[in-house]
Amino acid sequence: MATLELIGLEKSFGATPVLRGIDLEMPDGEMLVIVGASGCGKSTLLRMVAGLERPSAGRVLLDGRDITALDPSQRDIAMVFQNYALYPHMTVFDNMAYGLRIRGLPRADIRRRVEQAAELLGLDALLARKPRMLSGGQRQRVAMGRAIVREPKLFLFDEPLSNLDAKLRVAMRAEIRRLQRRLGVTSLYVTHDQVEAMTLGDRLLVLDQGRAAQLATPMEVFERPADTYVAAFIGSPAMNFLPATLAADGTAAALETDALVPFADGRRDGPDGRPLTLGIRPEHLALAPDGLQIVVELIEPLGSETVVHGRVAQGHQTGDQTLVVKLAGPVPATNRLAVWPIPAQLHVFDRATGQRIDPIGDESAPIRLARTAVAG
Amino acid sequence: MSHAVGIAGPAPRTAATAGERPDWLAHVVLGVGVLLFALPVWLAIAGSTQQSGAILRGDLSLLPGSEGLAAYRRVLLNGELGTQPVWHMLLISGGMALVIAIGKIVISLLSAFAVVFFRFPFRRTAFWIIFITLMLPVEVRIIPTYAVMSQLHLISTFAGLTVPLIASATATLLFRQIFAAIPDELVEAARMDGAGPLRFLRDILIPVSATNIAALFVILFVFGWNQYLWPLLVATTPRLDTIVIGIVRMIGVESETDWAGVMATAVLALIPPVIVVVLMQRWFVSGLTEGEK
Amino acid sequence: MERRTLFNGWILPALLVLPQLLISIVFFYWPAGQAMWSSLTTEDPFGLGSVFVGADNFTALFADPRYLAAILRTLLFCAAVASLSMSIALTLAVFADRDIRGRGIYRTLLIWPYAVAPVISAMLWLFILNPQVGLLGRWLNAHGIPWDYNVNGGQALLMVIVASAWKQVSYNFIFFLAGLQSIPRAVIEAARMDGARSWHHFRTITFPLLAPTTFFLIVVNLTYAAFDTFGTIWSLTQGGPGQSTETLVVKVYRDGVVNLDLGSSSAQSVMLMAGVILLTVIQFRFIGRGTNA
């Protein structure tokens, strides 16, 4: 249990920057999920905290102690790997005991710790087996057991569930959450799966090509995404984006179809005609007879809901603008639909920078990180 | 036999391939093949139990003779005209094969480990220096190597017999290939567990490569045991004769050769390497062909 | 060669790589360098020193009909040994790949000959083909077919070819079998559904898929025939009668050790080095792996 602080972490491989100035403060016991698309730098960040990669700039402080220059074995951090990385020639017991043996713990202590962890993870019957005799889920639990027995200050998880099948993933997700809460160990968890991120994290750090796009709680990230990247990444099906311009003296947005969408939460700053991107999630579009006309291209019945894919009609022509709508219940086959966004669920972004535009005087602006507020 | 290096075994073949040609043909062909190799050895075994005098007269036969194991006793204890007793030569051969096999494995393992898991100045150069030795078997550099040995006063020493044969890079290349295929995560997990490089080598790398090491041992032991040209040059005293050298020496003037003894010696010379190959057959075959995949 | 995970430090790896580097330099580069130097010198008539003669040794070599004959003979010998050995091995492997009863036993019985030393192989065939005492040799002479490889050059060459090829079949068998087993089952089944019949199936599917293995084995077999057969040839015929079994490696030994012509044999060694380097480069270019010792 410890606090973690990342100060200005940067990493470049040769001339290619991979991480640009990450700052982070984690209180003791928090589970922070680092999420983002492939190549956004999340694994690199994790590895720098682990000590497997040296930062080009910046510092890592664990419990106030600067560990930036320390070897991984000296950091008191344990890691759970994506491919489990179990020692194939050792039994489950030995796999978990290895790190403790190196540290010279007395035999009795090692035995106690391993057996406790095994019981916690449901592995007690498997202690004498070798990894090749275990299923994927069991191997993953051994990998976690290996981390748990170390009783470290910090847990690192590197996409540990990616190699499991869907059902197992859901079960393991819950187990990881339960375990982390119970042990109260500060944890950093990396994933590209936004569902995992939303369900596991106390807070999320959304990375976009090496920079921190947003650092906030899952609900915050969902309800008030800091930019279009975050907005598009979280939520499925992804948020719809419509180009628009500021209109009516900042109180509404004008779509390309000339329809006017008034803001429900206040004025936005800027001259009329300021280019915007409007965001609205598929589930926040409601049927409205005199709303936006869309030409239906595909209807996906999911049972309790239906997802409709279509294009916005411009007069009698079908434009290029796609729109995805999620409606409750079944939808009869049709080739035209009229929908309108629920005003309270509208998101407004600057078209050029993708940054969220809040109403003037809004106190609950999403937390942004100082270094990343600048474009380019 | 699976390990972290992830080499998949071949898909088991069942009756999918049978039935194209009759089975009896396969048995015939394979039977002939087996006989092709078994008969010459059988001949030597049978001959070793016959009387040398009879053989000289031209009566060598495929049937076991009346002398039993007399020839073996003879050669083991006394050797033949001008050679050491065979037990002595067997010991030399065995020692030589073991030293070469173990020596080569140890040196190559360490070198490959250094080259794959570290980055140090001149690493590339060191690798190429080692790699180029692959290109020349000892037969090509015999005379100058002999001269070097002479200068180092290693002629007719056990060291002189073995060390030059440890010099080539084949094992290093094999180890390099294997080590390069070890998953990064395994190394990282060990590092996070606190293992330094040497501990990693001992606790993880070597056990995981155990099958390959076993296969290499078989290959190198046989290689060492079967050497002829180099020992011929370097062992200038009969004290260091290997059994392979010895057996050729035994065939002096044909009319005076103790043929049964020679055949017995041939059989004795065959036994240790064959035992090693057969006992470790599974590892040996997979290790030999692994590099091919 | 670039791994993601490395250990830090340079002292440890330097130490680990040192033994092999030292041995390589002392027992490989130094002699190789000396060989190259000697190839450019000749000993003075009194044997007291050496004189630099530039490329004279080389030009003398290529003007020497005996050397050119040895080259031709070696090429012929290598081709014969490789093709004989590989074709027998392939046939056996194809049948051993089938799903028949006892195939495990057949395999073991065909793998053990790997352990036979080239010299022992020679001895075994001597027991068979020696004109006075050999089982077959005696029989031939007794039935009016003159057989004496000590006198007849062609027969001597035939004998060493047979003894050399015989020993190598096992090695090729192992690789061919592994190659056959790595052909994915799906391919075989697809061919069956396409109606491929046995020989046609072999010719159009199996053999092409074995191409990498075959190519690899060709290179290995040629190297074996060129160098590892020294023991076989020398112990049987010493290169004779005359020069009829004098391959290049035998000639190097004869000229260097028996006749003590250092300059010429060094030049020959250098030429052999060039040949091996060429073969190794070809092998790595096209297949990307090394031979085993």
Nearest to B212 by CA among B172, B183, B162: B172
Dig out the tokens for A76 from the structure. 């008191």
CA dihedral sign of residues B246, B248, B252, B257: positive
Query: Distance of CA A101 to CAs A149, B196, B199, Å?
Result: 11, 13, 12
**Mean pLDDT of the region A185-204:** 93
Q: Poorest-confidence range of A345-349, B131-135, C220-224?
A: B131-135
C277 touches chain B (CB under 8 A): yes
Nearest Cα of chain A lies from the Cα of B193 at a distance, in angstroms, of 4
How many residues would you count in chain B?
293
Nearest Cα of chain B lies from the Cα of A83 at a distance, in angstroms, of 7
Nearest Cα of chain B lies from the Cα of A2 at a distance, in angstroms, of 18
Task: Give residue C216's pLDDT.
Answer: 85
Distance CA B82, CA B85 (A): 10
Q: In this structure, is residue B62 part of a structural domain? A: no
Nearest to B143 by CA among C266, C247, C29: C266
Nearest Cα of chain A lies from the Cα of B194 at a distance, in angstroms, of 4
Beta-carbon contacts below 8 Å between B and C: 347
Q: What class has domain A236-359? A: mainly beta
Task: Give residue C1's pLDDT.
Answer: 46
- DSSP string for residues in A86-150: --TTS-HHHHHHHHHHHTT--HHHHHHHHHHHHHHHT-GGGTT--GGGS-HHHHHHHHHHHHHHT
Smallest Cβ–Cβ distance between B269 and the set C32, C120, C227 belongs to C120
Task: Give residue C46's pLDDT.
Answer: 64
Residues of A in contact with B204 (CB under 8 A): 87, 89
Tell me phi and psi for residue A161, to 5 degrees.
Answer: -100, 0
**Mean pLDDT of the region C195-208:** 77
Find the helix or strand (DSSP H, E) in which A288 lies.
strand A285-301
Closest-CA residue in chain A for B183? A85
Distance CA A310, CA A318 (A): 10
Q: Which of the pair, B206 or B259, is modelled with greater confidence? A: B206
CATH code for position B171: 1.10.3720.10
Whether pLDDT at A279 is above 70: yes
Nearest Cα of chain B lies from the Cα of C93 at a distance, in angstroms, of 9
Instruction: Please give the share of chain B, as a percent, with pLDDT higher than 90.
Output: 27
Q: Poorest-confidence range of B81-90, B109-118, B221-230, B250-259?
A: B250-259
What ipTM does the predicted assembly reach? 0.84
Nearest Cα of chain B lies from the Cα of C10 at a distance, in angstroms, of 5
CA dihedral sign of residues C266, C270, C273, C279: negative
**Mean pLDDT of the region B52-62:** 79
Nearest Cα of chain A lies from the Cα of B228 at a distance, in angstroms, of 39
Q: A78 and B192: CB-CB below 8 Å?
A: yes
Report the predicted TM-score, pTM, of the whole model to 2 decimal places: 0.81
Subunits next to A (3 or more Cβ pairs <8 Å) are: B
Q: Is residue A65 classed as helix, strand or coil in its secondary structure?
A: strand
Smallest Cβ–Cβ distance between B41 and the set C31, C114, C124 belongs to C124
Whether pLDDT at A316 is above 80: no
Domain hosting residue B162, numbered range = 69-290
Q: Poorest-confidence range of A304-313, B112-121, C26-35?
A: C26-35
Q: In this structure, is residue B158 part of a structural domain? A: yes
Strands of the A275-280 sheet, one edge to the other: A260-262, A252-255, A240-247, A275-280, A347-350
Smallest Cβ–Cβ distance between B191 and the set A52, A87, A89 belongs to A52
**Mean pLDDT of the region B199-226:** 91
Residues of B in contact with A103 (CB under 8 A): 194
Q: Poorest-confidence range of A357-371, B2-16, B210-224?
A: B2-16
Average pLDDT of chain C is: 85
Q: In this structure, is residue B21 part of a structural domain? A: no
| Cβ under 8 Å to B: A residues 87-126 | 87-89, 98-99, 102-103
Q: Is residue B126 classed as helix, strand or coil in its secondary structure?
A: helix
Nearest Cα of chain C lies from the Cα of B68 at a distance, in angstroms, of 19
Smallest Cβ–Cβ distance between B130 and the set C24, C175, C269 belongs to C24
Task: Give residue A4's pLDDT.
Answer: 92
Task: Give residue A365's pLDDT.
Answer: 55
Instruction: Label residue A240 by pLDDT band (50, 70, 90).
Output: very high
Decide: A55 and A133 in contact? Cβ < 8 Å: no
Convert the pLDDT of each residue in C109-126 to its tens digit: 999 999 999 999 999 999
How many residues would you count in chain C?
293
Q: Poorest-confidence range of A82-91, B81-90, C248-257?
A: B81-90
Q: Say which residue the tokens 């041995």 belong to.
A: C23
Domain C55-286 is classified in which CATH homologous superfamily? MetI-like (1.10.3720.10)
Distance CA C32, CA C25 (A): 9
Q: A50 and B192: CB-CB below 8 Å?
A: yes
Task: Give residue C189's pLDDT.
Answer: 80
CA angle C198-C204-C208, nearest 5°? 120
Decide: C189 and C50 in contact? Cβ < 8 Å: no
A83 touches chain B (CB under 8 A): yes
Distance CA B235, CA B158 (A): 9
Distance CA A214, CA C272 (A): 68
C286 touches chain B (CB under 8 A): no
Instruction: Label residue A180 by pLDDT band (50, 70, 90).
Output: very high
Whether pLDDT at C79 is above 80: yes
Nearest to A355 by CA among A370, A337, A335, A375: A375
Decide: A4 and A188 in contact? Cβ < 8 Å: yes
**Mean pLDDT of the region C15-35:** 87
Distance CA A147, CA C57 (A): 69
Domain count across chain B? 1
Task: Give residue C215's pLDDT.
Answer: 87
Distance CA C208, CA B213 (A): 32
Task: Enumerate the H helices of C25-55 as residue ranges.
Answer: 30-38
C13 touches chain B (CB under 8 A): yes
Task: Give residue B254's pLDDT.
Answer: 65
| Cβ under 8 Å to B: C residues 212-231 | 212-213, 216, 223, 227-228, 230-231
Distance CA B79, CA A106 (A): 59
CA dihedral sign of residues A256, A260, A266, A271: positive
Task: Give residue B204's pLDDT.
Answer: 93
Q: B194 and A88: CB-CB below 8 Å?
A: no
Convert the pLDDT of each residue in C5-24 to its tens digit: 788 888 899 999 999 999 88
Subunits next to B (3 or more Cβ pairs <8 Å) are: A, C
Nearest Cα of chain B lies from the Cα of A146 at a distance, in angstroms, of 9
A54 touches chain B (CB under 8 A): no
A85 touches chain B (CB under 8 A): yes
Residues of B in contact with C88 (CB under 8 A): 33, 36
C194 touches chain B (CB under 8 A): no
* Residue C14 zone, left/alpha/beta (φ > 0; ψ -120 to 50; rest): alpha
Find the helix or strand (DSSP H, E) in which B85 lies.
none
Closest-CA residue in chain A for B208? A89
Q: Poorest-confidence range of A218-222, A333-337, B253-257, C208-212?
A: B253-257
Question: Domain boundaries in chain A?
Answer: 4-231, 236-359
Q: In this structure, is residue B63 part of a structural domain? A: no
- DSSP string for residues in A252-285: EEEETTS-EEE-SS----S-TT-EEEEEE-GGGE
Instruction: Label residue B75 by pLDDT band (50, 70, 90).
Output: confident
Whether pLDDT at B11 is above 70: no
Instruction: Please give the share of chain B, as a percent, with pLDDT higher than 70.
Output: 88
**Mean pLDDT of the region A356-371:** 64
- DSSP string for residues in A199-260: HH-SEEEEEETTEEEEEE-HHHHHHS-SBHHHHHHSSSSPPEEEEEEEEGGGTEEEETTS-E
Query: Distance of CA A289 to CAs A292, A294, A321, B241, C45, Å?
Result: 8, 11, 20, 104, 115
Q: In this structure, is residue B247 part of a structural domain? A: yes
Residues of C in contact with B142 (CB under 8 A): 252-253, 256-257, 269
Q: In this structure, is residue B58 part of a structural domain? A: no
Q: C262 and B143: CB-CB below 8 Å?
A: yes
Average pLDDT of chain B is: 82
| Cβ under 8 Å to A: B residues 194-253 | 194-196, 199, 203-204, 207-208, 210
Question: Domain boundaries in chain C?
Answer: 55-286
Whether pLDDT at A27 is above 80: yes
Q: B108 and C95: CB-CB below 8 Å?
A: no
Instruction: Label residue C45 by pLDDT band (50, 70, 90).
Output: low
Q: C119 and B62: CB-CB below 8 Å?
A: no
- Substitution target in C127, C177, C276 with the highest count of B β-carbons within 10 Å is C127
Q: A89 and B192: CB-CB below 8 Å?
A: no
Residues of B in contact with A79 (CB under 8 A): 188-189, 192
**Mean pLDDT of the region B162-167:** 85
Task: Give residue B173's pLDDT.
Answer: 85
**Mean pLDDT of the region A216-244:** 92
Q: Which of the pair, C133 or A89, is modelled with greater confidence? A: A89
Q: Would you say domain A4-231 falls under CATH 3.40.50.300?
A: yes
Distance CA C77, CA C84 (A): 11
Task: Give residue B5's pLDDT.
Answer: 38
Q: CB neighbours of C103 closer than 8 A, spacing ≥ 6? A: C96
Instruction: Please give the share of chain A, as a percent, with pLDDT higher than 90.
Output: 60
Convert the pLDDT of each residue in B20-55 to its tens digit: 556 788 888 899 999 999 999 998 888 888 888 888
